[in-house]
Structure 1
Amino acid sequence: MDATYDRTSEVKAFDETKIGVKGLVDAGFAHIPRIFHHPHLNLTDSNPLLSSTTMVIPTIDLKGGVFESTVTRKSVTAMIKEAVERYGFFQVINHGVSLDVLEKMKDGIRGFHEQDSDVRRKFYTRDVTKKVKYNSNFDLYSSPSANWRDTLSCFMSPDVPKTEDLPEICGEIMLEYSKRVMELGELIFELLSEALGLNPNHLKEMDCTKGLLMLSHYYPPCPEPDLTFGTSQHSDRSFLTILLQDHIGGLQVLQDGYWVDVPPVPGALLVNLGDLLQLITNDKFVSVEHRVLANKGEEPRISVASFFVHPLPSLRVYGPIKELLSEQNLPKYRDTTVTEYTSHYMARGLDGNSVLLDFKI
């Protein structure tokens, strides 16, 4: 280990600039700072037999949320059930969010991250009490290595932010997009409930749709993409995540021990299950590890992840759903609150280890 390398000091120095990774790119850095180096990074652990041509994440047509018959709804539910049990991920089309809204959302987020650094600095904070936060790496101080991305974050529900509290360049479209995502999420939770053999409102009545956290990520081109990640290996702490990604790509999902590319589908939204849904379904549905490669291209990658998870503090207790348990299917996890689970998750950071293991019985 280099005796002159003081990670704590270098992290603090980077954070205090309040310019994020975008600021390093603007400054013309030819080499990424050491705090972004992932010493054990392995980008070669992909299986040539599991190429994107043979391992495609299912794309499911949601018919705009209007099913012509009970048979059609049951068919869609069956496809979702198969997708989440086999992959943990699926793409949705005809999801009710117009292409115009999707494009405006991506343009708005790109506009925020590419505006003058002095404007971005006004939102730069690590104060968890702030409604709107902009920073680079939520786990900058706790993770072993930083990732090459910046993020604008805000809870959009249950307390809807005021337009004047959001960045002027993207505030209105954030409100419009989140409204549509909430509607889509409620439909997907209904179909997931039915896939579990439960009443369509079961997961909603458990408050799985109570909160919506929006993380708008910006992945600038990286001068040394083989040394770092855009987002390192992790699973989501949410019940459910709905992801809007642009055409750049870079997302990979862990399947059967190998990393598989998830190429963007124009106009589609990507849905994946989170840790809390795995916990309450007692491993019936599984939260899958995923990561984002550092951006090797010449233009930035934009993605917007909408997490269905409660704002903190939340004392709502969650454990395996009783209707799913039996003598042959005993609970695998202890009860926990969203606050307790999130505290474990945030303290560990994106280190590639599942926080669910801490809650195993």
Structure 2
Amino acid sequence: MAASVDASSSSNDRMKEVKEFDESKMGVKGLSDSGITSIPQIFVHDPQTLSDLKPSSKPTAAVIPTIDLSHITSPAHRPNIVDQVKAAAKTFGFFQVTNHGVPVSVLDKTVNAVKAFHEQPHEVKAEYYKRDEGKGVMYASNNDLYRTTAASWHDSLQMWMGPEPPNVEEIPEVCREELAAWDLHATKVADDVMELLSEGLGLERGRFKELTFSDSRVLVGHCYPYCPQPDLTVGIKAHTDPGIVTVLLQNHVPGLQVRHENEWLDVKPVPGGLIINVGDFLQIISNGEYKSVQHRVLANSRKESRISIVIFFNLAKWREDGYCGPLPELLSPHNPPIYRDFTPQEFLENFYGKGIDTKSLIQKITIRN
């Protein structure tokens, strides 16, 4: 009995600390800038999570593939690019793309604009601080703060860019022009990559666009400030992304790791490159052909903040019957469905009903033989 009382008391104390941190609207950037030398208890992760938090040390460690898109319109080169994208999506679930058509100057402006937002005084950013995850513009620390057992060392500016973009004046002025432009550039890259992924499954080039796979999208500008105790917490804990594909732009500060063959690989950004990864939804609709994989961000031990800008792409229109699942045209007696169909409600409840995690929807809908 005493143990359960202690657990309840501990849970209440934690929730009180979470609420105080949230209501301060300081974010972890505010904590970091204040000069703290130890992190609040709500950010300390369990021993199992902390046991392998380190950059990959093996000199022979694999690296995620880098794919040059400069010849995607060439009939002679395109099939080879399709094969490269298909292989990367099957084996790593992550790849970098170069010569994707976005000028380096635009990449730099986008990173600098997100950095400028996060470096504003606390009272300026606090005007945008709220928890309204499903629409509009939101600045907060840890969008799963109240659902997770341990918070992570990052703040985020989040905005839904489709199917209903926010009013322009809702986007903070310091990054308004750059993020509106980035949405267009990143969506063009995502559409190009989704055409390649579609062809890799033996489908028509435009099939994913027809299925509205880039119409519902959310842009998130993360800031991972200096952490005084990076061995006790994480930037973002290990998880898979729930959607179709993710397009990631980041600055030069390291931290992103991808799980591959039971090892954590450091992802070193290629200059001018963008990182693409497969989401759970794409694994499901491809009937397991493409793989969403675990990734995480280590807490930042450098004085300079790590900045990353992520756009998550998802479908906007579900099937007429209100379900989604493996694409029927990919199924056959030789390739039966390995996942059952599911509803938007199941998808949303699975994501918003808990902290971020790994493939929990996939686990729920896998057909057991």
The answer to whether the superposition gives a TM-score over 0.5 is yes
1:44 pairs with 46, 52, 62, which one?
Answer: 52
Q: CA deviation at 1:31?
A: 0.6
Is residue 29 from structure 1 mapped to residue 30 from structure 2 by the alignment? no
Distance 1:61 1:226, change over 3 A: same
1:139 pairs with 133, 140, 144, which one?
Answer: 144
> Is this contact kept in 2: 1:45–1:259, CA < 8 A?
no
Please report the TM-score for the alignment, with normalisation by the length of structure 1. Answer: 0.93
Q: Flag structure 1 segments of 5+ consecutive residues without an equivalent.
A: none
Q: Which region of structure 1 is more displaced relative to structure 2, 148-157 or 347-356?
A: 347-356
Secondary structure at 2:37 match in 1? coil
Is residue 253 from structure 1 mapped to residue 258 from structure 2 by the alignment? yes
- CA distance in 2 between counterparts of 1:314 and 1:321 reads 11
Secondary structure at 1:336 match in 2? coil
1:335 pairs with 324, 334, 341, which one?
Answer: 341
Equivalent residues in 2 for 1:161-200 (5 A)? 161-200=166-205
Distance 1:182 1:130, change over 3 A: closer
Q: CA deviation at 1:47?
A: 10
- CA distance in 2 between counterparts of 1:355 and 1:210 reads 21
Equivalent residue number for residue 326 of structure 2 = 320
Equivalent residue number for residue 57 of structure 1 = 64
Q: CA deviation at 1:127?
A: 2.3
Question: CA deviation digits over 1:66-123, x for unaligned, max 9?
Answer: 523x120101101111111111110000011111110000000000011011111111
Equivalent residue number for residue 18 of structure 1 = 25
Is residue 344 from structure 1 mapped to residue 350 from structure 2 by the alignment? yes
Is residue 120 from structure 1 mapped to residue 125 from structure 2 by the alignment? yes
> Is this contact kept in 2: 1:310–1:338, CA < 8 A?
no
> Is this contact kept in 2: 1:314–1:337, CA < 8 A?
no
Q: CA deviation at 1:343?
A: 1.8
Q: Sequence identity, in percent?
A: 42
Distance 1:47 1:140, change over 3 A: closer
Secondary structure at 1:170 match in 2? helix
Distance 1:112 1:311, change over 3 A: farther
Distance 1:288 1:268, change over 3 A: same
Q: Flag structure 2 segments of 5+ consecutive residues without an equivalent.
A: none
Letter in 2 for 1:122: E
Please report the TM-score for the alignment, with normalisation by the length of structure 2. Answer: 0.91
Is residue 278 from structure 1 mapped to residue 286 from structure 2 by the alignment? no
> Is this contact kept in 2: 1:51–1:260, CA < 8 A?
no
Equivalent residue number for residue 365 of structure 2 = 359
Secondary structure at 1:176 match in 2? helix
Is residue 156 from structure 1 mapped to residue 164 from structure 2 by the alignment? no
Q: CA deviation at 1:53?
A: 4.7
Equivalent residue number for residue 8 of structure 1 = 15
- CA distance in 2 between counterparts of 1:47 and 1:38 reads 18
- CA distance in 1 between counterparts of 2:132 and 2:204 reads 40
Q: CA deviation at 1:218?
A: 0.2
> Is this contact kept in 2: 1:143–1:351, CA < 8 A?
no
Is residue 232 from structure 1 mapped to residue 237 from structure 2 by the alignment? yes
Q: CA deviation at 1:43?
A: 4.7
Equivalent residue number for residue 303 of structure 1 = 308
> Is this contact kept in 1: 2:246–2:277, CA < 8 A?
yes
Number of residue equivalences: 358
Question: CA deviation digits over 1:178-198, x for unaligned, max 9?
Answer: 101111111111111100001
